[in-house]
Chains A and B, each alone.
Chain A
Amino acid sequence: MARISVEGLSKSFGAYRVFEDLDLAIPKGSYVCLLGPSGCGKSTLMRMIAGLDTEHGGHIRFDGKPVEHLTAAQRDVGMAFQNYALYPHLTVEGNLRFPMKAPLQKGRWSAAQMTERVGEVADLLQIRPLLGRAINQLSGGQQQRVSLGRALVRHPKVLLLDEPVTHLDARLRYAMRSELKRIHKVMGTTTVHVTHDQGEALAMADLLVIMRGGRIEQAAPAMEVYSDPATAFVAGFLGAVPRTVLTLPLSERDGTAGLRLGGQHVPLPPALVAAARQAGGGTVTIALPASAFAVDPDGPVEGTVAAHEMIEGAQRLVLQADGQRVNIQRSETAPVANGDRLRFRVDASEGLLFDAATGDRLRPPLRRAA
């Protein structure tokens, strides 16, 4: 168990800068999910916390103590690699025993304890029948479980899981998620879990960290990230039907302020107008939930169907208007084809505003009172 603080972390691969001044505080015993597009630096961050890559700027501390001078072994972390990295010359059991047989663990495990612990982990991950197998006789999902087992077998202080359940089938993945949470509850090990699956992240994380392009967009409890996004990217990133994020000019008509979309005036609620004005007006970015749009033959704005699909009985449409994409969901399913023109209504009352340049949230000045 350890509290991890990452302070002013910077990292370059040659001329390519992955991180610049990255800060992240991971409370002791928390379960953190790292979520972000491919290539945003999730694995790189994990490797630095693990001590596999020590050529970086800034500091990493465990429980307030800097760990830069410690080797990966001395940091006492367990890591499940994105590509498993099992020992191909050992059996499943050999792989699970390997961490306990390390010289650094000398004296901590008797032979009987080792056998007992291997059995425990094998039962937990449902791999007991595989213990005698060679690694190249395992399916991808089985390998993934072995690599998970190897990471947690010796009770490390910190668990780093790089996409630990992505290659399991849906049922097993679901079971594994609750196992991971259960293990976490019992052991209380500080855990960092990288995933591409939003549902997984929302379900598991005490602290959800959204990364993009080597920056942390938001680090907060999962529900807060979902309902109160800090940046336009986060607002448009989460959800089965993500919020529609539009960058639009402010406009004024009949004394009410609003935004211009498809040549039409979309009125804004007063609180948002105030927020937009405070930021200097001009252009703003607004994020709107799917419920803000409705297909309506008499609606003011017209868009072209760019994509359509069925999600759990509802029809999801992506309409192109003003060169921007609008996500709409409707329950009645009329046949559409790409290129069709549809009219729709917009209700901006549940919109969230962001600075068009920086993507930072623009909050109404007196939000709490309102």
Chain B
Amino acid sequence: MASMDTSTARLAPKAARAPGSLGTGDILRYALASIFVGFCLFPLYMVLSTSLKAEADIFAFPPAWSFRPIWDNFNDALFVFGGTGVMPFLLNSVIVTAASTAAAVGLGAMVAYGLTRFRIRGGSHLFFFILSTRFAPPVAFVVPLYLMVRQTGLMDTHLALILIYTSMNLSLVVWIIRGFFEAIPVEIEEAAEIDGYSRLQIFFKVALPLVKPGLITTAILSAIMSWNEFLIATVMTQNKAATLPVYLGGFSGSMGLEWGPYMAVGAIAVLPIMIFTLVLQKHLVRGLTFGAVR
């Protein structure tokens, strides 16, 4: 969304030239951008196309650009493998992602609000401290987390992953939403104070609606992280609570790598989070506070 806006802004002054015609500079820029986009999207294309190919088309060389799509791979992935297929893992991923995203955004918004609106001794140090939880690579936490999860009997449960992902996402949420809260003119909340609302009511009725773009942004980022997280999920779950990445990771070993179904599972893993992001992005109303104060 943002990138779209900057590109139109940059092109705007070129209006002097006949509309629709491009200079050499523009052509070069578009060519480079297209190559880069193609480079990024090619693996996704391979996943999606392979998941729809028959065995013969998969191994055709050079790759078959046109082929007759089949749904067998999805059928295998969903219903055949392991007797249950991908479904339970998909469900686990949805549960863990939804719960940890909701918790991280909800808690994070409250923390950010408290830290921006109340004078707290050492508040700015607190912000730094919160961010510092992200300084170390996650792998450094795996062993201590493993011991904690085992001790508390949460091994192979949704709750273990939800708690860990929430704490991993929280710092990012706090940092991003803080910026949104700081952008709200304080008079808007003071007006609500005068109108007879308590601090908590102001938080829910005035502040939160005004940082909706921040909530959506952080929800997207948190969800993507939780959805794709592999390392901690493999360590903390075996199968009851295992998520899609864990299932995907175990694929090659147990099945002797069947590319078609493998890619079908990959597609199933990509699509929900992609749809989630696209849907939420539509609600990113920018400039919500524009014009509120003069």
Contacts and interface: CB of A to CB of B under 8 A. Distances in A.
A137 to B, nearest CB: 8
Given A89-B288, A136-B291, A143-B291, A83 B187 contact: yes
Interface string A39-67: 00000000100111000000000000000
Interface string A158-173: 0000000001000000
B193 A89 contact: no
Interface in A142-161: 143, 150, 154
A143 to B, nearest CB: 7
Contacts of A79: 191, 194
Interface stretch (B24-32, B132-140, B147-155, B196-204): B196-204
Contacts, number: 87
B193 A73 contact: yes
A84 B291 CA distance: 10
Interface string B211-233: 01000000000000000000000
A136 B291 CA distance: 5
Interface string B182-199: 000101101111111110
A271 B134 CA distance: 81
A83 B292 CA distance: 8
A87 B192 CA distance: 9
Contacts of A99: 195-196
Contacts of B201: 103
B187 A89 contact: no
B210 interface: yes
Given A52-B190, A83-B187, A88-B188, A103 B291 contact: no
Contacts of B291: 88, 135-136, 138, 143
B188, B212, B290 — which one has the most chain A CB atoms within 10 A of its CB?
B188
Interface in A67-97: 71-73, 77-79, 81, 83-89
A227 to B, nearest CB: 36
B194 A77 contact: yes
B191 A83 contact: no
Interface in A212-239: none
A132 interface: no
Contacts of B238: none
B107 interface: no
Given A83-B185, A143-B294, A167-B294, A88 B289 contact: yes
B196 to A, nearest CB: 3
A174 interface: no
Nearest to B189: A85
A365 to B, nearest CB: 49
B236 to A, nearest CB: 40
B18 interface: no
Contacts of B290: 88, 136
Contact of A81 (B191, B210, B288): B191
A98 B210 contact: no
B206 interface: yes
Given A81-B187, A83-B185, A136-B287, A88 B193 contact: no
Contacts of B212: 89
A282 interface: no
Contact of A52 (B185, B193, B288, B294): B193
Contacts of A78: 194
A267 to B, nearest CB: 52
Contacts of A87: 188, 191-192, 206, 292
Nearest to B201: A103
Interface in B278-294: 287-294
B185, B195, B290 — which one has the most chain A CB atoms within 10 A of its CB?
B195
Contacts of B272: none
B38 interface: no
Contacts of A81: 187, 190-191, 293
B250 interface: no
A112 interface: no
B185 A85 contact: yes
Contacts of A143: 291, 294
B194 A50 contact: yes
Nearest to A153: B195
Contact of A86 (B194, B197, B287, B292): B292
A87 B197 CA distance: 13
A140 interface: yes
Contact of A88 (B195, B196, B197, B292): B292
A111 interface: no
B196 A102 contact: yes
A104 interface: yes
Contact of B194 (A72, A84, A140): A72
Contacts of A88: 188, 210, 288-292
Nearest to B285: A89
A73 B192 CA distance: 9
B249 interface: no
Interface string B106-121: 0000000000000000
Contacts of A51: 194
B179 interface: no
B188 A85 contact: yes
B63 interface: no
A99 B206 CA distance: 13
Nearest to B190: A52
A140 B294 contact: yes
Given A83-B293, A84-B294, A89 B194 contact: no
14 contacts: A47-B190, A52-B193, A73-B193, A73-B195, A81-B191, A84-B292, A85-B190, A88-B288, A88-B289, A89-B210, A98-B192, A103-B197, A136-B290, A143-B291
> Ordered nearest first, which 4 A-B pairs have the shortest CB separation?
A102-B196, A104-B196, A85-B187, A136-B291
Given A84-B293, A87-B292, A136-B290, 7 more contacts: A73-B196, A81-B191, A86-B292, A87-B191, A98-B195, A136-B287, A136-B292
